[in-house]
Amino acid sequence: DFYQNAFHTPSSIYSKNDDIPQQQAFADGTILEFSEKSRVHVGRIISSEHKSNGGARYEIMDHDGKKFSIADKAVSYSVSAPNNEPAAVRLFDAIYSAHEESEFELRTDLAISPEILELAWEEAASDDTFEDHVLTPKALIDLVHSKAASAVDAYKAWRLLKTDIAHVFFKEMKEKGRVVGFKAKPLKAVEAAKTTFCRSEHAGDDLDFCLV
């Protein structure tokens, strides 16, 4: 599967009752971005279980030590943690910091401006090596910086690709309810989206982009 190499995916857990298919579950320790009561959090899985209907649920602890109980469908992004606990804690700290960053900070950290996003869109739209012209966060880092993305940079790129200005160029692609890729829009759709964006309140910090 195209997306398997781009995103961490949960491992299979089989039901004791073969009549009830078990939803794949993320491993304990996995770092997740998830939604709870309309708020977005980052946490680590403490434990998981399967309900009678086969659906997975997770007990999560966030960076402040607060616990949450969530269904699998609440998960928006996942990062596989190292087996070494100190390394896992460092990664969790870094993912939490990335989660707290503003759009401007994400752009700065990744050295990806709106103009570079536009160049990435042109490449993804015209290059058939991108399957279905879909760009993943890791592919964006590789395309722009010619290097493999770290887990933290991949998460930052994913967040950046979900911003309003990225939506000018890319359409979110979902698999099992989660955004896993970003499909390059046709030129006419980009032109229309750019006009809409530049007339919106979100364009205030991107006037140079809108003047081009």
In angstroms, the CA 73 to CA 192 distance is 32
In angstroms, the CA 146 to CA 185 distance is 23
- At 132 the pLDDT is 84
Q: What is the pLDDT confidence band of residue 15, given thresholds at 50, 70 and 90?
A: very low
Q: CB of 23 within 8 A of CB of 54?
A: yes
Q: CB of 75 within 8 A of CB of 26?
A: yes
Q: Which residue has the higher pLDDT, 165 or 201?
A: 165
Burial class, 23, CB count within 10 angstroms (exposed 0-12 / middle 13-18 / buried 19+): buried
Pairing label, strands 67-71, 56-62: antiparallel
Q: CB of 78 within 8 A of CB of 25?
A: no
Residue 136 CA to its chain's centroid (Å): 9
C-beta neighbour count of 196 within 10 angstroms: 14
- At 53 the pLDDT is 76
Q: Tell me the pLDDT of the chain averaged across its residues.
A: 88
- At 4 the pLDDT is 42
Q: Coil, strand, or helix at residue 207?
A: helix
Q: What is the pLDDT confidence band of residue 150, given thresholds at 50, 70 and 90?
A: very high
Q: Which residue has the higher pLDDT, 25 or 196?
A: 196
Give 34-92 pLDDT, tens digit per residue. Answer: 999 889 999 999 999 988 777 889 999 999 999 999 999 999 999 999 999 999 999 99
Domain ranges of the chain: 2-100, 103-211
**Is the predicted pLDDT of residue 192 greater than 60, yes or no?**
yes
**Is the predicted pLDDT of residue 6 greater than 60, yes or no?**
no
Q: Coil, strand, or helix at residue 182?
A: strand
Q: Which fold has domain 2-100?
A: SH3 type barrels. (2.30.30)
Q: What is the pLDDT confidence band of residue 125, given thresholds at 50, 70 and 90?
A: very high
- Dihedral angle sign, alpha carbons of residues 65, 51, 18, 1: negative
- Dihedral angle sign, alpha carbons of residues 207, 191, 108, 174: positive
Q: What is the mean pLDDT of residues 95-100?
A: 98
